[in-house]
Chains A and B, each alone.
Chain A
């Protein structure tokens, strides 16, 4: 149900953009200039707001999840990346988590059931592999887009593109990341349908984000490989936008507008949704804190004002019994 509603929503958005782009210069101006501009502003402001909102609440306790041996005695080998004792270890742990999705890689299978042994060991890592493929591909694709934003094209973009198009297949060359992006996303979507567990927990918003990203990827792919859009025109359109000399893009097709519109929707949606996991992972207290609890004191700004039952009260309450059993007392 949620999957259908979301599909419908994304389709409507795409059609809206396509129709708008076909009716005239006015809507093209809105879709090509105003909407992306506003969306990008919302995106930046929204994320900034959210991160400030998060940071406004303190971290009252240091609660890292230790996933390896802590630093204790000098002759016991500690695992700095799994139970970091200091900043370096934390940076390493976060890097592994953010760059390589360390925790998703933890599914270890030891003793397989007899008839399941033919399953490859890697089969258990598909979620990790697909997630990693999609996220890295997205990052590289975004970086590749700098070709459109910066003039002259920075040299690292050229490097990135030649590495990405290493296989030299097709004309224009297919980027490995385009394929990884689409395949990765397709898998992430498919498992929400196929795996009953994941289907059960999935919300409409989970599908929405996936459809949106797929829509963006597909329209981009179509523009490059099917429509073979005029890159110079696209660049002119974007350059005008980026330098605030707003003119309605000319000479680019409908796909461009759909692509840009879906990206705009994503921008606006991002700071209000689970996509916040991107900035959020950096603030997760079970991962970004050192397990140095007993070595360095962590301060809680709102430490509760309560105190316990004092020794004096306790001694008074049990005075006779204490005395009868021969305890040394503070007050006789």
Chain B
């Protein structure tokens, strides 16, 4: 091998991409760590989805069906007939570039095809060539290009590098929503069997067991009991949350990660303590054991199938209304899709808090209330006994999860709850919160380990803002209202802002709640001392 000078070595690998973005070429081998593994055969089989086979993106031959071009073309045509959004978003982009530097993946990676406008152009170029007069006549001059296998590979790479966080759509003068474009592209990729396992396995699991993790009902019950046992060590009170109980007033739906993995489990304990504290007549369900819905990241059919069980279970159990836990994309589904797909929920009643009398008229049709709406209403009416000082060891900031912020408009409620349960609250910089919030970079099915490099790149903008409040305000806890956040933010914080822990809001509620008959609390819900030992600081 020829000797290389340091100068040459530096320049290797990072040459600018070809001037024209229209030439597709993704080297999957060289870019390990930035893409996700394909869906396993068993999952596609179980769901009855097209073209199940063993393959890897690093293979030269992706084993597409022989008429894949026709399939994509017909699929595209079908989607255009079904979605006005797609037609509009394909036709009206002027490439002003307002969105270009708004994507966390672009900011962190510098890969130009992560600019939202170009991500959409990957699809738009094919649309022009196949479906517009200008594209047919002028081809690449009008921004059209031929659909080739290389283009398809590029779709697989870049449409599974979008977390559907909708930040770009905030800045677009026409409201073009890359999340919608990505959803359409993934629908097309499904047709020829190009999908990722981190999405399809949860979907298959959820279809079968009722939750993404594939937890069967007996294990579900064990997990809940185990967590209640652990909680009893902290509070001295053994809770016995009802599961599948008919005739309860409220069905409580949560993302499955909350009873499966830390730190979501502490949030779960917080919910249960709250319900015990106020005496809510509720039930959990081991059938509707996941409000989260990876179908949203895959196809409208799967979205509907998985969501279907929520209303079904509410009907079977005879509850009056539904309460939903802290979860981001779950709330996009509940707020924007559930009623349309599986409603009308005319067998339920308009939610009314039995403790404050508040009627949640904003959910008059869907009949599902967000736990932050519910809790902030309780707080407003002084229904909770709290000792804020139990969270004094925490200097807290709040990460607006993408979907509650940009799809629901739930901005004040979580802040209201936080300010009521802790004494030290600090906002991150203004252009990184609320509707401007930066994604955790692990949403929309990308939060798997094989994609870690990309997640860390995309997590830089959030991590950078977090680091700022860590350094300037000594923040040591970032709260959020999303289960995917609770899974993906710990590694992000670990890398970009070490020393900051992640928690759900109701974990802090649980810490602060003064439960009737509780032991004197010496630890928080994590079993850690309420007042950290300060042995090193002996020089005070």
- Cα separation A276 to B90 with both chains bound (whole Å): 11
Residues of A within 8 A of B416 (CB): 76
* B85 on the A face (CB < 8 A): yes
The segment out of B7-15, B334-342, B522-530 that lies at the interface is B334-342
For B, the interface residue count at a CB cutoff of 8 angstroms equals 109
* A22 on the B face (CB < 8 A): no
For A, the interface residue count at a CB cutoff of 8 angstroms equals 97
Residues of B within 8 A of A321 (CB): 216-218
Contact of B362 among A60, A70, A79, A197 (CB under 8 A): A70
- Cα separation A282 to B146 with both chains bound (whole Å): 31
B169 near A65 with CB under 8 A, answer yes
Residues of A within 8 A of B138 (CB): 205
Question: Chain A 82-97, CB within 8 Å of chain B: the 1/0 string?
Answer: 1101000000000001
How far is the CB of A100 from the nearest CB of chain B, in Å? 10
A110 near B216 with CB under 8 A, answer no
In the complex where A72-B362, A198-B100 touch, is A327 in contact with B95 (Cβ < 8 A)?
no
Residue of A nearest to B246 (CB): A328
A63 near B180 with CB under 8 A, answer yes
Question: Chain A 43-54, CB within 8 Å of chain B: the 1/0 string?
Answer: 000000010011
B435 near A281 with CB under 8 A, answer no
Residues of A within 8 A of B30 (CB): none
Residues of A within 8 A of B171 (CB): 103-104, 106-107
Residue of A nearest to B133 (CB): A272
A103 near B341 with CB under 8 A, answer no
Is the contact region of chain A dominated by helix, strand, or loop, or is it mixed? Answer: loop
Contact of B435 among A5, A61, A66, A292 (CB under 8 A): A66
- Cα separation A52 to B182 with both chains bound (whole Å): 25
How far is the CB of B110 from the nearest CB of chain A, in Å? 11
Question: Chain A 291-324, CB within 8 Å of chain B: the 1/0 string?
Answer: 1111111111011101111110011011001101
A203 near B363 with CB under 8 A, answer no
* B280 on the A face (CB < 8 A): no
**Residue of A66, A294, A304 with most chain B CB atoms under a 10 A cut-off:** A294
B431 near A281 with CB under 8 A, answer no
- Cα separation A330 to B361 with both chains bound (whole Å): 34
How far is the CB of A227 from the nearest CB of chain B, in Å? 32
* A179 on the B face (CB < 8 A): no
A204 near B308 with CB under 8 A, answer no
Residues of A within 8 A of B360 (CB): 72-73
B413 near A73 with CB under 8 A, answer yes
- Cα separation A73 to B381 with both chains bound (whole Å): 12
- Cα separation A191 to B98 with both chains bound (whole Å): 12
Residue of B nearest to A274 (CB): B94
In the complex where A274-B91, A306-B305, A325-B217 touch, is A72 in contact with B172 (Cβ < 8 A)?
no
- Cα separation A7 to B347 with both chains bound (whole Å): 64
B84 near A58 with CB under 8 A, answer yes
B408 near A60 with CB under 8 A, answer no
Contact of B208 among A203, A309, A322 (CB under 8 A): A309
The segment out of B365-373, B452-460, B483-491 that lies at the interface is B365-373
B305 near A70 with CB under 8 A, answer no
Contact of B92 among A53, A281, A285, A314 (CB under 8 A): A281
Question: Chain A 267-284, CB within 8 Å of chain B: the 1/0 string?
Answer: 000001110110011011
B364 near A294 with CB under 8 A, answer yes
B88 near A308 with CB under 8 A, answer no
* B44 on the A face (CB < 8 A): no
- Cα separation A309 to B306 with both chains bound (whole Å): 8
B98 near A127 with CB under 8 A, answer yes
Residues of A within 8 A of B88 (CB): 54, 280, 283-285
- Cα separation A76 to B363 with both chains bound (whole Å): 15
A297 near B87 with CB under 8 A, answer no
Residue of A nearest to B170 (CB): A67
Residues of B within 8 A of A272 (CB): 132-134
- Cα separation A46 to B406 with both chains bound (whole Å): 35
Question: Chain A 108-136, CB within 8 Å of chain B: the 1/0 string?
Answer: 11110000000000000001000100000
Residues of A within 8 A of B216 (CB): 318, 321
How far is the CB of B428 from the nearest CB of chain A, in Å? 10
Residues of A within 8 A of B364 (CB): 294-296
In the complex where A63-B177, A65-B166 touch, is A300 in contact with B21 (Cβ < 8 A)?
no
- Cα separation A82 to B436 with both chains bound (whole Å): 13
Residues of B within 8 A of A284 (CB): 85, 88-89, 92, 174-176
- Cα separation A314 to B435 with both chains bound (whole Å): 40
* A171 on the B face (CB < 8 A): no
Contact of A60 among B82, B93, B365 (CB under 8 A): B82
- Cα separation A325 to B97 with both chains bound (whole Å): 58
8 A-B pairs with least C-beta separation: A70-B409, A308-B308, A66-B409, A280-B92, A286-B175, A83-B409, A294-B366, A287-B175
- 19 further contact pairs, Cβ within 8 A, besides A73-B373, A103-B173: A54-B91, A57-B80, A59-B83, A63-B407, A66-B435, A75-B380, A97-B173, A274-B92, A284-B89, A285-B84, A294-B335, A294-B362, A296-B365, A297-B366, A298-B339, A308-B308, A310-B312, A318-B216, A326-B221
CB pairs A–B below 8 angstroms (7 shown): A54-B88, A57-B84, A197-B100, A274-B92, A281-B174, A294-B364, A304-B300
